[in-house]
Amino acid sequence: MSAATAHVGDVSGQANSTTPLVELENAKLHFPVRGGILNRPKAWVKALDGVSLTIKAGDALGLVGESGCGKTTLVNGLLHLEKLTDGRILFDGQDLARLGSGALRQLRRQLQVVFQDPFWSLDPRWLVRDVVGEPLRVHEHLSAEDRTAEAERLLDMVGIPSDALYKYPHEFSGGMRQRIAIARALALRPRLVVLDEPTSAIDVLSQYQILLMLTELKAQMGLTYVLVSHDLSVVSYLATHIAVMYLGKVVEYGPTKAIFTRPAHPYTEALFAAVPDPQKIGVESLVSLGGEVPSALDPPSGCRFHTRCPHVMKRCREEEPCKQDLGYQHWAACWLVEAE
């Protein structure tokens, strides 16, 4: 994906609005660990622990970090699949937790998701016509004829010929199935689309084609993206901003170009250093971060990264770091940044 890396920070879609589309205010999601005769909570897994972020209309926020850092939990909270333990998530100024079932149903039209593996996210028993047209049946109550016409238009938008309407998902390659999943996500003309590892289950050529298509659709439809990915080249191509997560918290945030050219947090630096370099040969060229991610049941005091940080100071073990402003909406939660 070297072509993707060459486009760091280029993708912006339509001009960004100054009005936030999504606001996370000290969002927390803690899950109980139950036990005993009464099955009462004995401890809490702090999967998301005090995240505050703003996503403007037209942005594409990339969420990066190791497995278990809280990316999926954040997305589940944003999609209101899990209710927050504390804090708020506002969508276009509306607090998701305060919406009634009817209002929430209407809001879900504006929040759609493309899952990681299109093989499992598409019902194998349904024709493509029905897969793409299902959101229209549920929310628009269109006739079968109108749903078919709209499904055909959506498939054309993602580069799939109309004869696919009467085929089953298993008759297509992984890349084509992901296009079908994207067409389904766009059926209700959403404002925000969550992309959960959208290219991880397809070949490299299809990855690049999917990224180009997502870029074009973002500009054409005025979409806002939240991208979850372990592939930093995908993030560099598609995201306008990046949030680096570690153990339930955001440790660095900023514009994509700033994060890639001037990473400030030691964890961000470690993530980039772990990416294989095609110019170097041999396993000795690979850089790995030592130690294990601490348990979210009992996070370390102070900075949560201090148990693995090569630059740890005494203050890191005792005090949780504040956000250190680096200018141009770029910040890092690290005492080392303040010291510099």
Q: What is the pLDDT of residue 339?
A: 60
Distances (CA, A) of 213 to 152, 178, 182, 195, 200: 17, 11, 10, 13, 16
Q: What is the pLDDT of residue 10?
A: 43
Q: What is the pLDDT of residue 285?
A: 57
Q: Could you give the residue range(s) of every CATH 3.40.50.300 domain in the chain?
A: 2-110+190-339
Note whether 21 and 226 are within 8 A (CB). no
Find residue 6's DSSP bridge partners. none
Q: What is the pTM of this model?
A: 0.89
The second-level CATH assignment, the architecture, of 2-110+190-339 is: 3-Layer(aba) Sandwich (3.40)
Q: What is the pLDDT of residue 158?
A: 96
Q: What is the pLDDT of residue 3?
A: 39
Q: What is the pLDDT of residue 70?
A: 93
> Which parts of the chain register pLDDT below 50?
1-16
Q: Which residues of 86-97 are buried (b: 16+ CB within 10 A; e: fewer)?
A: ebebbbeeeebe
The DSSP bridge pattern shows strands 192-196 and 224-228 to be parallel
- Answer positive or negative: Cα dihedral of 317, 322, 326, 331: positive
